[in-house]
């Protein structure tokens, strides 16, 4: 049987071998954690604690009333040492405040309890109370995804185990080591949205994960091997590959009758419903130019520097420290940044692997590689040109600017090394300021 995949896309180097065989390790208890109030799409949380207050591990420390938001919890017991606004060190760190907590030597957990009667409503409530957001990176609050509008029938739950970004192996390890939790989480998601079908999509470069998930699924859901191609794990591509359905720009997966959750999100939903555990830690890969790459279970709010230290420090002079994968992640200006719920990994690129962005944008030779790479059928070279000429309205109206899913495939393949994704993003923000959305 041919392996399923979408049209176009790219084949970046995998670079997963350094960490894919390493079991998940619990990261060391940090001396301090910094909890950001906005680790999700939507309204930032408001602090519920005050400076000097004692908090327990798993205690809720921030929330706000809004449809699209998620509460945040302390992953440690300790004392609140500061509450201030976050300097917005990176794109991944959104606006909003932060709570700094000095960590106690002896850890005490807040009481927690499992959901007694599991119903769609109780699942949604537990998921929200646990502060669960999409752990694939987008950080969309999971409760919203579990609450499709009544006029839309969601019949299929898709569990995203693609992990199509280079370097990252955290989801791979979770599927191997916690397959039962992922499967149970998937069943809970299906119950919450009222779906009959569950499909787990995994890239075929993880045969052990496919086997482990098939065993755990035990016929209750299908586990499908997908071609190893980027961006296989992008929501639109994954839905099309597994169900044949597509939806236009501006619509949601629920318009195609689907709800997509990352494997770690599914495992977190399992923990929240069955054990009452809030989302206070997650598995991430710390790899690249570090001495001992690892898959670490990290408390949210731990600093990036302390994770690099736990991996033996830099193995070569660092050129870039990326939060997330190298194709869509954020280059950090400093390692003194806390990890957030959406952090799937820390990838260090050595100085010799990094080229300074050139001040001038090189000329496009119109080779068309970006057109052949774009999984959403755009003309990225033209979008880049329009962005440079501040013609974002034409880009939006004629060249479908907002169809871009920002996967970066165009910039990856560009032989002239034009920063196409950056140009397209700038055009998008300019167009949104100008009021154009299509």
Partner 1 sequence: MAEDRLVVSSPPHITSDAQTSVIMFWVVAALLPVTLYSVYIFQARAAVSIIMAIAGACGAEAALQSLMKQKVTLSDGSAALTGLLLALTLPPMLPWWMPLVGGVAAIGLSKYVFGGLGFNIFNPALVGRTVLLLSWAQYMTTGFFEKLQVDTITGATPLYVAKQVRDGLVRYDFAPLHKQYLLANPYGCIGEVSALLLLAGAGVLLYKGIIDWEIPATYLGVVVVWSLVFGADPVFQVLSGGIILGAFYMATDYVTSPITPKGKLIFGAGCGFVNMLLRFYSGLPEATAFSILFMNALAPMIDRFTIPKPFGWVKADAAE
Residues that bind partner 1 (CB under 8 A): 10, 12-13, 166, 236, 240, 246-249, 251, 314, 317-322, 326-336, 347, 349, 351, 353-354, 356-357, 362-369, 371-372, 375-379, 381-382, 398-400, 403, 408, 411-417, 419, 421-422, 425, 438
Q: Return the number of the residue (14 or 274) whose C-beta is nearest partner 1.
A: 14
Q: Return the number of the residue (118 or 416) whose C-beta is nearest partner 1.
A: 416
The CB-of-422 to partner 1 minimum distance in angstroms stands at: 4
The CB-of-336 to partner 1 minimum distance in angstroms stands at: 8
Q: Return the number of the residue (43 or 396) whose C-beta is nearest partner 1.
A: 396
Helix (H, G, I), strand (E, B) or coil at 364: coil
The CB-of-318 to partner 1 minimum distance in angstroms stands at: 5
Q: Tell which residue, 107, 106, 127, has the closest CA to residue 118.
A: 127
CA 231 to chain CA centroid, Å, is: 13
The CB-of-413 to partner 1 minimum distance in angstroms stands at: 5
The rounded distance, in Å, linking the Cα atoms of 61 and 54 is 11
Q: Return the number of the residue (149 or 248) whose C-beta is nearest partner 1.
A: 248
The rounded distance, in Å, linking the Cα atoms of 349 and 326 is 9
Q: Return the number of the residue (62 or 408) whose C-beta is nearest partner 1.
A: 408
Q: In what order do the strands lie in the sheet with 54-55?
A: 32-36, 97-103, 78-85, 54-55
DSSP-derived secondary structure letter, 369 = H
The CB-of-423 to partner 1 minimum distance in angstroms stands at: 9
* Pairing of β 97-103 and β 78-85: antiparallel
Q: How many CB atoms are closer than 10 A to CB 336?
A: 12
Q: Return the number of the residue (275 or 316) whose C-beta is nearest partner 1.
A: 316
The CB-of-320 to partner 1 minimum distance in angstroms stands at: 5
Q: Return the number of the residue (88 or 365) whose C-beta is nearest partner 1.
A: 365
Say if residues 256 and 38 touch (Cβ distance below 8 Å): no
The rounded distance, in Å, linking the Cα atoms of 227 and 387 is 33
Structure-block tokens of residue 88: 């917005």
The CB-of-311 to partner 1 minimum distance in angstroms stands at: 14
Instruction: List C-alpha distances in Å: 436 to 316, 392, 396, 402.
Output: 45, 9, 7, 10
């Amino acid at each position: 049987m041919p392996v399923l995949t979408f049209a176009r896309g790219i084949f970046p180097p995998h670079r997963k071998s350094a960490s894919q065989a390493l079991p998940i390790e619990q990261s060391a208890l940090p001396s301090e954690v910094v909890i950001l109030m906005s680790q999700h799409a939507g309204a930032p949380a408001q602090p519920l604690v005050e400076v000097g207050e004692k908090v327990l591990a798993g205690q809720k420390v921030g929330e706000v009333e809004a449809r699209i938001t998620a509460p945040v919890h302390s992953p440690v017991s300790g004392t609140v040492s500061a509450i201030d606004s976050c300097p917005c060190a990176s794109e991944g760190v959104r606006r909003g405040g932060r709570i700094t907590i000095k960590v106690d030597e002896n850890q005490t957990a807040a009481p927690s309890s499992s959901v007694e009667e599991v119903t769609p409503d109780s699942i949604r409530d537990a998921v929200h109370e646990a502060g669960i957001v999409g752990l694939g990176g987008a950080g969309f609050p999971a409760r919203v995804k579990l609450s499709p509008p009544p006029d839309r029938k969601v019949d299929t739950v898709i569990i995203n185990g693609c992990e199509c970004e280079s370097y990252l192996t955290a989801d791979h390890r979770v599927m191997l080591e916690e397959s039962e939790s992922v499967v149970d989480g998937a069943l809970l998601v299906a119950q919450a949205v009222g779906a009959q079908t569950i499909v787990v999509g995994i890239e075929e470069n993880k045969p052990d994960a496919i086997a482990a998930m098939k065993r755990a699924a035990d016929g209750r859901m299908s586990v499908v091997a997908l071609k190893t191609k980027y961006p296989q794990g992008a929501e639109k591509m994954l839905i099309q590959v597994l169900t044949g359905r597509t939806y236009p720009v501006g619509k949601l997966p629920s318009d195609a009758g689907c709800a997509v959750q990352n494997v770690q999100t599914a495992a977190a939903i399992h923990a929240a419903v069955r054990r009452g555990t809030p989302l206070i830690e997650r598995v991430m890969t710390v790899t690249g130019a570090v001495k001992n790459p690892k898959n670490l279970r990290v408390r949210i709010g731990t600093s990036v520097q302390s994770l690099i230290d736990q991996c033996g420090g830099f193995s070569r002079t660092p050129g870039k420290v990326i939060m997330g994968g190298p194709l869509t992640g954020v280059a950090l200006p400093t390692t003194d940044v806390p990890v957030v719920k959406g952090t799937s990994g820390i990838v260090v690129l050595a100085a010799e692997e990094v080229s300074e962005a050139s001040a001038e944008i090189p000329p496009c030779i119109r080779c068309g590689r970006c057109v052949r790479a774009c999984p959403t059928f755009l003309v990225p070279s033209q979008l880049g040109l329009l962005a440079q000429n501040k013609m974002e309205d034409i880009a939006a109206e004629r060249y479908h600017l907002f169809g871009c899913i920002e996967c970066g495939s165009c910039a990856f393949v560009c032989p002239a090394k034009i920063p196409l994704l950056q140009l397209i993003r700038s055009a998008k923000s300019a167009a949104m300021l100008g009021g154009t959305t299509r």
